[in-house]
Amino acid sequence: MSKKVLIVGGVAGGASAAARLRRLDEEMEIIIFERGEHISYANCGLPYYVSGVIVERNALLVQTPAGMKERFDIDVRIHSEVTRIFPEQKEIEVKEANGHIYRESYDELILSPGAAPIRPPIPGINDIESFVVRNVSDIDQIKGYIDEQQPQTAVVVGGGFIGLEMAENLQARGVNTTIVEMGDQVMAPLDFEMAAILHEHIFTKGVNLILEDGVKAFDKKENKTILTLQSGEQIEADLTILAIGVKPEIKLAKEAGLTIGDLGGIKVNERLQTSDPNIYAVGDAIEVKHLITGQASLIPLAGPANKQGRIVADVIAGRNSQYKGTQGTSIAKIFDLAAASTGANEKTLKKLGIPYEVSYTHSASNAMYYPGATRLSLKLIFEKSAGRILGAQIVGSQGVDKRIDDIAGVIRRQGTIYDLQELELAYAPPFSSAKDPVNMAGYVAENIINGDVRTVHWYDVQKMNPKEVCIVDVRTIEERRGKFILGSLHIPIDELRNHLAELPKDKDIVVYCEIGLRGYLAYRILTQHGFTRVKSLSGGWVTYFPAVFS
C-alpha cells in the first residue's frame, strides 16, 4: 500500500522533496500545502526583477501548481495555511483563504516552512510603510511601488545578502540608496578585512553605507519615513526596505511538541527526522550540523534546502540516505564584484577556540598578459598541523565562483592545502594562469606550514609601534607614493641586498609589499643573511589598507 505524504511549504526543499518522491514512487499520494500564491519560485532572483535585469516576472516561477499536477500528478493547494499538527492522530489542520478549515491525514509529514524576515520591535516600525523581500508577492509590491511612486531615495536596513542585492538593484533604478548596518561590516559570512573590500566598492557606486549604527526609531512625515539612528543621525527616505535577517518558522513544530534546538530551529537527525519519526523538516527552518565545526547552525541557503528535500524523499521511499552537514558555500554579486565564502570563517573559529592559520593571496583572474585580467583576493583558513582546509573567502570581479567551488569540493572531502596544490585545473590565458589562484593559495599555505615564512596579519601591524618594530616597504617608489604604512622604511626589493647593513638585527622586522609575494621574497633574503626576527605581512598592502582605513 502506497504512502500518503503531506508537505507544508512548496518552495525549495518542499518542492524538491515532492518531485523526487514522485520519481521514486508513481503510486504515492503527495499533497503540497502553500499558504501563499506561488510554489517553487526563484527567491534568490527576486531583487533582480526590481531593476529589470530579470525582465519577465514569469521567469521567477520555476514551477506552477498546474505544472506540478500535469507533470508529476502532485496535488498542490495554494492559499492553504497549515495551522496545526496533531502528531498522535497523524493529521494536520488546514485553513483555506475563504476561512474554511478541514483536516488531512498523513503517513509521513514534511515541514518546509522556511524562515521569516525579522521585524524587530523598533518604535514606530508598525506605523510606517516598509517592505520585506521573501516571496514573489513581496517583490511585486516593491516593484509596483517604485513604478507608481517613483521614489527618489531609499533606505535598506541590513547589510546581508538581500540588503546588498536590493541596494544594487534600487541604485540601478535610479533610486539614491542608503544601507544602514548595525554591525561593523556587511556580509556576515566574510571576515572583516574581506568585507572591507566591499565597503570601498559600495561607496564608489554612490551608495551611502552606514556601519555600526542601528535604527533607533521610525517616524512618518507626510509621504516620507524618517529613520533616527542610534547615533542621533536622521535619514529621510521615500522607500524603506527591511533586510535585517531571517528567523526559522517554527510555530507549527513548536505547538506540535517537536524539539526545537538552542538556536531556535527545528532539531533534526541525519535522516532529517524531527523528534517525531513520521515528521521530517528541511530548509531554512531547521538547525543543521556545520560541516567544519560540528556545531548546530542556522544556514539559510537554497542549495542545502534542495539537497535536504531530495534526501527526505529517499528516506521516505526506503532508501538509505543521510544529510552529512552544511558548509555554507555562498556567493553574492555586489555591483561589479562577487563575494563568496565556504566553510568556517575566522570569527567562528576564534569564538569556538579551534586552532587555525590564515593566508592571503591576491592572484589575477587569468593570465596577466591577456587583456581583462582582474584581481582575486583569496583568504584561506587551514589547520597548521595537517593542513586541512577549514574555510575560504574570495572577493573579485571575475572567476570567483569557480575558485570557491574548487575549494568547497576539497573541503567537502576533508581535503588539505596539498590537495589545492595538486588540483589539475583547466588553463588557457583567457581563463586562468598555469598556476591557478587555487593552486597558489595552496603553495602559500604550505610555505607557512613548513616555516619557509613567518607571517603577521593586518590587525597585528595595526597595533605595532614603528619605533619599536622596523617596518620595511619593499615596493617601488611609484607604488609607495601616497599609500604606505606610517613610519615604514622604504627599500625596494631589488635593492634590498645592498642595504642589509641599515637594518637592525636586535629588533623585529616586518616586511611588506603590494600583495605579499615580494614580502615573502624579502623574508627569504633577510633570514638567509642572518636576520632572525623577520615576519612578512600576509596579503600585503592590498589586505592591510581596506581593513585599516575603510
**What length does the chain have?**
550
Alpha helices in 25-174 (DSSP H): 46-51, 65-72, 136-149, 161-172
Residue whose C-alpha cell reads 524576515 in the numeric block: 117
The rounded distance, in Å, linking the Cα atoms of 361 and 375 is 10
CB crowding 69-87: b at 16 or more within 10 Å, else e: eeebebebbbebbbeebeb
The rounded distance, in Å, linking the Cα atoms of 487 and 258 is 61
Q: Please say whether the beta carbons of 264 and 296 come within 8 A.
A: no
The rounded distance, in Å, linking the Cα atoms of 389 and 358 is 10
Grid coordinates belonging to 216: 533607533
Alpha helices in 150-244 (DSSP H): 161-172, 192-204
The rounded distance, in Å, linking the Cα atoms of 216 and 269 is 40
The rounded distance, in Å, linking the Cα atoms of 510 and 536 is 6
**Residue 320 identity (one-letter amino acid):** N
Catalytic residues, which ones? 44
CB crowding 527-544: b at 16 or more within 10 Å, else e: beeebebbbbbbbbbbbb
Grid coordinates belonging to 518: 615580494
CA distances from 228 to 185, 215, 223, 236 (A): 20, 6, 16, 9
